[in-house]
Amino acid sequence: MSLDQILVLLGGLAAIAWVNWYFFLAQRATVSARLDPSGTQQIEIAVAGGYSPALVRVKAGRPVRLVFDRRETNPCSEELVIPDFGIRRFLPPNQRTMVEFIPELPGSHEFTCGMGMLRGKVVAE
Ligand SMILES: [Cu+2]
């Protein structure tokens, strides 16, 4: 193997490591929703190149309100999909959009952009 080939190989490995870190480890900070007086669990999620927080803990059997604060115009994030609750919603740029559902049972529910590139998860327990 020539030096060039080794450098290309190392560069490729570094890129793979970064992609894995970016998609699986970064933005994985878990945040628990807080209860408002009506008993709804509300949490705000910033949308800018990803979801932050991307992992939200809620209590099963109580209404959940996710407030998506989209801070970009990148078309990748313009659509929000939560398949488990049949939700598909347009998120206008630089606005907040509320989405509500009730996770009746403990379990984990993914939310993604329309293309499935940006990912987050609501864990009901
Ligand atoms: Cu996308």
Which residues are within 8 A (CB) of 112 and not within 5 positions of it... i.e. 6 or more apart? 80, 81, 118, 119, 120
Angle at 62 (CA atoms; ends 28, 42), nearest 5 degrees: 50
Percentage with pLDDT > 90 across the chain: 69
Question: How many Å is the Cα radius of gyration of the chain?
Answer: 18
Ligand 1 centroid distance, CA of 63 (Å): 27
Ligand 1 centroid distance, CA of 30 (Å): 22
Ligand 1 centroid distance, CA of 119 (Å): 9
Ligand 1 centroid distance, CA of 102 (Å): 25
**pTM to 2 decimal places:** 0.75
Model confidence pLDDT, tens digit, residues 71-106:
999 999 999 999 999 999 999 999 999 999 999 999
Ligand 1 centroid distance, CA of 15 (Å): 20
